[in-house]
Amino acid sequence: MAVPGAELLCIAVGLFLYACAWRDARLVGRLRRTGVRTEGQVVANVVDHQSRNRNPTQTPVIRFHDHHGYEVEFTTAIQGVGLGLATGRTVDVMYLPGESQKARVWMRRHIVGPMAGLALTGTVFLGFGLWIAFS
**pLDDT tens-digit map of 102-121:** 899 998 888 888 899 999 99
For residue 53, count other CB atoms closer than 10 A to its CB.
8
Q: Is the pLDDT of residue 10 over 60?
A: yes
Average pLDDT of the chain, as a whole number = 87
Does 73 score more than 90 pLDDT?
yes
pLDDT tens per residue across span 40-67:
999 988 777 665 666 667 788 899 999 8
- Distance, in Å, from the CA atom of 118 to the CA atom of 14, rounded to the nearest integer, reads 9
DSSP single-letter state for residue 83? T
Helices marked H in 1-135 — which ranges?
6-34, 108-134
Q: Which residues are CB-contacts of 19 (< 8 A; sequence separation ≥ 6)? A: none
pLDDT at 83: 62
CA 47 and chain centroid, separation: 17
- The answer on pLDDT for 1 being more than 80 is no
Could you give the CA distance from residue 82 to residue 60 in angstroms, rounded to a whole number?
12
Under 8 Å CB-to-CB from 106, ≥6 apart: which residues?
37, 91, 92, 93, 94
Cβ proximity of 42 and 61 under 8 Å = yes
> Where residue 11 falls among pLDDT bands split at 50, 70, 90?
very high
Question: What pLDDT score was predicted for residue 131?
Answer: 92
Q: What is the pTM of this model?
A: 0.79
